[in-house]
Structure 1
């Protein structure tokens, strides 16, 4: 496992960019709008702070949430809140680092046995193809799928769970990164970020409204709809939703400190950023 937070997140970020080219474009656009105190293009680029990332998995013992969390605990992360998404059959935890400037981590797992026997069987057959030692490798969290999956299996899973189908196709990688609106300079509101994105042709996730949450729950979130990228299935290639970019604005709680958790009702809608709009 990685020995530093930076090494782990650099690996996750580079892997994410491979199938999410829009993230680089958005970085550049927000940097140009948000001059701040920086003068060089590179400094403006670096000034965009990541609020959190999200990862997905199955609740099967060999690859469950705890196996992913171990990689973050190894570099100092500690468990935060616990979340349940009954309709999507998901459980989730978030993790924080003692250094508040480090990104938060949101890890969810699909409760496989709540799916039909057919769908659950497909998932178990995929996971059974994995090398047992893979989950401890340095690059596990950005190593992609460890199985062969057919387009027929993908579409079968898609009938029941977009989340399951996405995992079958993409495997282990950051599902999204998140721009911290609080760390921007001249842009001070999430609504302004959304306006800039739409003006530049990006499609936003409108499930539950463009902005999910708000000051009343101490967290406002929005996101793009996922990019599309080619996946090589065992029988064909398909151009399907990959990963997306999220934007988060945190507000102070009654004690004056910024809220550091997540809001289940909002996260439930953010999951839908990888839904196919086709």
Structure 2
């Protein structure tokens, strides 16, 4: 499968199932040339045959290489990002919930989900956008959310990109993340304000912002409900001392970006 086909399939699933509003944002920011996707993000459980390294394999087979790693201790998350030698290819940020660090109640629910998918061939690329491969009840989702919004999101939605990211560097109408944010707010979008609307600074070589996740309908085993789905991110990268744009991620930024899918109280 070609890299282009993988990201097209992920985009289709993302805009149809997880973040329908992304198509409108994309149209609002579209200029003369096609928008550059800085990166996507995938979520999973650090559990048996569905962990971070398993989700990374299809990308590695397409030429991607694992780069920096990140720890989010308060959220019990570990992450890496993958980068392709071709700088025009989107980066892939993959995180996993360290299930063994969580409560016995959470571990039991996750184990119940995983038992339903023991025989799936996790190395095949199409599973990256297949959605939820297990049945889960709303009550289980709600219980997970009391401890970990991240765990609840993965349980409810399964696999797919939780966000795509517009590269602000390419835009002509907007030269800053702040300008993009203001335009989106005027267009009726709600932005993630955790840690400030703009996460990061030119000093750390990366600024990011994001919409709050769309509310999407999910069919649970016991009822239907509307819950947070995916969101759209915006990133501006700054040059390093060698003049090349910084290509990594900043843990403090990412920690707050995760909260774009938190349920609004």
Take 2:197 and 2:59, find their aligned partners in 1: how far apart are those partners?
31
Question: Within the alignment, does 1:114 sit opposite 2:101 as a pair?
Answer: yes
Deviations 1:133-153 (A, max 9, x none): 331233110011111101110
* 4, 7, 18: which one aligns with 1:6: 4
Take 1:21 and 1:118, find their aligned partners in 2: how far apart are those partners?
33
Deviations 1:11-30 (A, max 9, x none): 10000001311101111111
**Residue 239 of structure 2 aligns with which residue?**
252
Gaps of 5+ in 1: 39-43
* 207, 213, 220: which one aligns with 2:194: 207
8 Å Cα contact 2:58-2:124 kept in structure 1: no
Cα offset for 1:67?
0.6
The secondary structure found in structure 2 opposite 1:93 is: strand
- Where do 1:1-278 residues align within 5 Å? 3-19=1-17, 20-31=19-30, 35=31, 38=32, 44=33, 47-278=34-265
Take 2:201 and 2:25, find their aligned partners in 1: how far apart are those partners?
22
Cα offset for 1:256?
1.1
Cα offset for 1:193?
0.4
Take 1:122 and 1:139, find their aligned partners in 2: how far apart are those partners?
25
Q: How many residues align structurally?
A: 264
Deviations 1:169-200 (A, max 9, x none): 00000010000001112321111100100000
Take 1:209 and 1:246, find their aligned partners in 2: how far apart are those partners?
14
Cα offset for 1:245?
0.2
The secondary structure found in structure 1 opposite 2:179 is: helix
Take 1:133 and 1:209, find their aligned partners in 2: how far apart are those partners?
41
Take 2:172 and 2:65, find their aligned partners in 1: how far apart are those partners?
29
**Residue 41 of structure 1 aligns with which residue?**
none
The secondary structure found in structure 1 opposite 2:87 is: coil
8 Å Cα contact 2:204-2:250 kept in structure 1: yes
8 Å Cα contact 1:176-1:243 kept in structure 2: yes
The secondary structure found in structure 2 opposite 1:123 is: helix
Take 2:243 and 2:125, find their aligned partners in 1: how far apart are those partners?
38
Q: CA RMSD in A?
A: 1.0
Cα offset for 1:241?
0.2
Cα offset for 1:131?
4.3
Q: TM-score, normalised by structure 1?
A: 0.93
Take 2:249 and 2:185, find their aligned partners in 1: how far apart are those partners?
25
Take 2:26 and 2:143, find their aligned partners in 1: how far apart are those partners?
36
The secondary structure found in structure 2 opposite 1:21 is: coil
Q: TM-score, normalised by structure 2?
A: 0.97
Take 2:119 and 2:201, find their aligned partners in 1: how far apart are those partners?
42
8 Å Cα contact 1:12-1:142 kept in structure 2: yes
